[in-house]
Amino acid sequence: MKKILLSFAFALVSMFTFAQTAWTVDPAHSSINFNIKHMGISFVQGRFDKFNGEVHSSGENLDNGHFNFQVMTESINTGVEMRDKHLKSADFFDAEKFPDMRFESGSFTKEKGNNYILKGKLTIKGVTKEVSIPVTFGGIAKNQQGKEVAGLQAKFTINRLDYNIKYDPTGAGVAKDVEVSLFLELVK
């Protein structure tokens, strides 16, 4: 009887181990971008140059996947060195004290067609908030090395004041709302 139970336990553990699919962000084919209104009349665009992430799913695709992403705040890049230095300061991201922003998913739910809703916790500057992010799944293909890759695109808006980014709290010079755009390629 012990042998049967041990065999069953081993088979069960093996099944769960092999059923997990891991995907990692390919930074060469991904980008994390933002834009924010300036002075109420124009927009400043930027990106983060250093980030990583992974998705663990129970099947071959991303359905019911668990997403973890990390963005290094010191890698902010708006193309203007003086502005980037200010954005890294305590007025904005305080990159020395808070070297990264993090996202951990709670759910990834299929909506209609290739559209999904990714819900989870976004942490910026030590503040964690629940967010709901619409995601478009681009599909799965093989890259030049023969590895499977998946494409995702997401666009959402956050209020920077919710995350203790309190510079210009009126939003007259630097808007409160920040539009975030993600273009991700994941390698299996």
| Structural domains present in the chain | 20-187 (2.40.128.110)
Residues forming beta bridges with residue 148, ordered by sequence position: 142
Q: How far apart are CA 132 and CA 130, in angstroms?
A: 7
Report whether 160 contacts 152 (CB < 8 A). Answer: no
* pLDDT tens string 47-74: 999 999 999 988 767 778 899 999 999 9
Rounded-to-integer distance, Cα 25 and Cα 150, Å: 9
Partners of 108 in the β-ladder: 118
Q: Which two tokens stand for residue 40?
A: 């109420």
pLDDT surpasses 70 at 4: no
Cα dihedral 27/51/123/134 (nearest 10): -10
- Rounded Cα distance, 152 and 66, in Å: 14
Which range has the worst mean pLDDT, 2-11, 19-28, 170-179?
2-11
pTM of the model: 0.86
